[in-house]
Amino acid sequence: MDAWVKFTNQSQGRDRIFRATQYACALSIYLLRKKTSERKDLVANLKSLEATMSAGRKLFRLGNTLNSIEAAKRTMQLSDRVLCLCLTVANINRALYFICDNVLWARSVGLIRDIDKEHWSLSASRCYFFSLVMNLSRDVYEIIQLMVQKARDEHFRQKMGQHLSENPEVADVVVPQLDAFLFLLLESLKSHPAVALDTLKNTCDLFIPLDRLGIYKSNAGVVGFCGLISSLIGIVTLAQPKLKIKP
C-alpha cells in the first residue's frame, strides 16, 4: 500500500506535464478555430494529441482514489478544526471524483458497458467542483489568518501608515478602508507565495467544472487557458516544494 502510494506520487510529475499539454492543445485549437482551411491538418493533429494526453492521464490516475483516501485519513488528524473540515471534505470529494473517473475509463476501454456516460461524467464534475470549493474555502481561511497576523504586527502598521499617507489621493477618492484592506491583502499574499499560488490555481481550476456543469458558461478558450495556468502552477509547486501550500 505504502509503495503504491509512493509510486503514484512519483507519477504526479508526468500527470502534470500531460495535463499542461492537454490544455495547451485545447487553447491552441480554440485560437486556431477561425483559420480553418490552411490549418486543418494542424488542428486535427492537436486534437489527436489532446485526446492522447487525456487518455494517458486517465490510465495513470487509477491509483489516485487510494491516494485521496489516504490523504483524507491524514487531514482528519489535523488539530485546526477549519482546516480539518475543509481538507477532509475536499479529499473525500476528490476520491469520489476519481472513482467516477475510473468508471468512465473502464467504459472507454470496454471493460464495462451498461453505464450512462453523461451521468457519470456529470457526477465526476460535481465532485471535482465540491473539492475545489472546499480547497478555496481553506485558502480564504488561510488568507484571513495571515491578514489578521499582519494587521497586529507593529512593524507592518508603520509601513501601512506610510503607504496611506504617501498616496493620499487614492485614500481620499476610494474609501480609505478599501485601500488599507487591499494593501494588507497584497502584502499578506506577497509574504506567503505558497498561499497565493494555491488560491490562483484553485480559482483557475474552478472554471473547468463551472463550465461543464453549466453554472457559469465560459468558452473553450477560457477553459484551455485556465487549465494551462493551473497545470503550470502545479509543475512549479512540484519542482519547488516550498511553494506548495501545507498541509
Using the minimum distance from each CB to ligand NAG, give the nearer residue, 132 or 229.
132
Kindly state the helix (H) or strand (E) to which residue 38 belongs, with its residue range.
Answer: helix 36-60
The pairs formed by 192-196 with CB atoms below 8 angstroms and a separation of 24 or more are 192/142, 192/146, 193/243, 194/237, 194/242, 194/243, 194/244, 194/245, 194/246, 195/139, 195/142, 195/143, 195/146, 195/245
Using the minimum distance from each CB to ligand NAG, give the nearer residue, 15 or 187.
15
The label of the residue with cell 477549519 reads: 82
- The per-residue b/e assignment along 78-92, b for 16 or more CB within 10 angstroms, e otherwise, is eeeeeeebbbbbbbb
Return the DSSP state at 67: H
Of 15, 142, 179, 205, the residue at the interface with ligand NAG (CB under 6 A) is: 205
SS3 246: coil
Nearest one of 181, 210, 185 to 196, comparing CA atoms: 185
Q: How far is the CB of 132 from ligand NAG (least distance, A)?
A: 5
Q: How far is the CB of 166 from ligand NAG (least distance, A)?
A: 37
Query: What track of x and - describes contact with ligand NAG for positions 157 through 196 (by CB under 6 A)?
Result: ----------------------------------------
Using the minimum distance from each CB to ligand NAG, give the nearer residue, 90 or 92.
90
Query: What track of x and - describes contact with ligand NAG for positions 120 through 159 (by CB under 6 A)?
Result: --------x--xx--x------------------------
End-to-end CA distance of the chain: 21
Q: How far is the CB of 9 from ligand NAG (least distance, A)?
A: 11
Residue 94 within binding range of ligand NAG, rule CB under 6 A:
yes
Distance between CA atoms of residues 42 and 99, nearest Å: 34
Using the minimum distance from each CB to ligand NAG, give the nearer residue, 50 or 205.
205
Grid cell locating 227 = 487549465
Grid cell locating 65 = 482514489
Grid cell locating 148 = 489578521
Q: How far is the CB of 220 from ligand NAG (least distance, A)?
A: 21
Q: How far is the CB of 143 from ligand NAG (least distance, A)?
A: 15
**How many chain residues are in contact with ligand NAG, going by CB under 6 A?**
8
Query: What track of x and - describes contact with ligand NAG for positions 3 through 42 (by CB under 6 A)?
Result: ----------------------------------------
Q: How far is the CB of 137 from ligand NAG (least distance, A)?
A: 11
Contact positions vs ligand NAG (CB under 6 A): 90, 94, 128, 131-132, 135, 205, 245
